[in-house]
Amino acid sequence: MTTEGRTVLAEFHPPGPSSFELPPIFTIAGVEFTKPMVLVILSGFIVVGLTYAFARRAAVVPGRMQFAGEYAYNFVRNNIARDNIGSEHYMKYVPYLFALFMFILVNNYYGVIPFIQFPSFARIGFVVALAAITWVVYNTVGIAKHGFVGYLKHETVPGGIKGPILLLLVPLEFFSNILIRPITLTLRLFGNMFAGHLLLILFATGGAYLLLDSGNALYGVVGVLSFVLGIAVSFLELLVMFLQAYVFTLLTAMYIGEAIADEH
């Protein structure tokens, strides 16, 4: 590698976890509010505002906003809730699942909105809280349906299995169904949002450095290519962001459906 090449590597600071540690924007009553905190709070108002806009002018022939709202609601109600919870009980859980889906979707799409460009769930603390709420919901409805002891048996003792093999299966089922689920929910959503945003930062900052600061025309060509790849990844991220909202909501519905099912 040439001396000039070594200089480029020495001067460029690649993005990493520190890129997600943003300084406070303002402080209220001693509480420092960072950009992700503000975005999460704002997303609550956005979801409420969108829901109101969807239903404000309900008509037999829907307008654009009503059609979009009905499409999103029907998608969650029919494709997620009813298919995984069952036609008898699913309606009571649709409000939570719809709010969950919309909330995750809004926070994910912050990552591709100009001048915001930060998916809130690239900070793991917010995802932990969301997964904890889901954990409480499906365990609570399961206990309400089967009773505490009955629910533990329901979740840890596979149907039709008897004998000494239960000494191995019961701890594994408890570990898998009670303890691991919120962890996998958290890591799946956080990991995708963190990695995707980190990749976009790398293409943007790396491309800008090679194009503007490298002092080498050949590096500038690579910088342009980096920007093009960054745009392509942004479109891919649009799909990933939707899929992560869908998967999180889908798994929540599956866990609720399993918790209230008559058999394990």
Closest residue by Cα to residue 248 from 34, 104, 106, 111:
104
Q: Which two tokens stand for residue 64?
A: 């654009």
- Predicted confidence at residue 1, as pLDDT, reads 45
Cβ contact 66:58 at 8 Å = yes
Q: What CA–CA distance (Å, rounded) separates 104 from 114?
A: 18
Query: In the predicted model, what is the mean pLDDT of residues 203-218?
Result: 78
Instruction: Kindly indicate the confidence band of residue 187, based on its pLDDT and cuts at 50, 70 and 90.
Output: very high
What pLDDT digit, counting tens, does each position of 134-148 carry? Answer: 999 999 999 999 999
Name which of 199, 184, 169 is nearest 128 in CA terms: 184
Percent of the chain past pLDDT 70, that is, above it, reads 93
Across the range 98-116, mean pLDDT stands at 93
Over residues 107-125, mean pLDDT = 91
Helix axis angle for 64-74 and 94-109, nearest 10°, is 110
Round to whole Å and give the CA distance between 151 and 259: 8
Contact 56, 46 (CB under 8 A): no
Joined tokens for residue 129: 């809280």
The band of 5, judged by pLDDT with boundaries at 50, 70 and 90, is very low
pLDDT in tens, 24-43: 888 888 888 889 999 999 99
Q: At what angle do helices 124-146 and 181-212 cross, to 10 degrees?
A: 160
Q: What is the domain partition of the chain in residue ranges? A: 22-260
pLDDT: which is higher, 237 or 159: 237
The band of 7, judged by pLDDT with boundaries at 50, 70 and 90, is very low
Residue among 71, 75, 29, 40 at smallest CA distance from 54:
71
Give me the helix-helix angle, 181-212 and 3-11, nearest 10°.
130
Task: Identify any residues that bridge with 33 across adjacent strands, giving them in sequence order.
Answer: 26
- State the average pLDDT over residues 162-189: 88
What's the mean pLDDT in 151-171?
A: 82
Sign of the four-CA dihedral 71, 115, 193, 9: positive
Q: How far is CA 129 from the centre of its chain?
A: 12
| Cut 0.85: pTM above it | yes
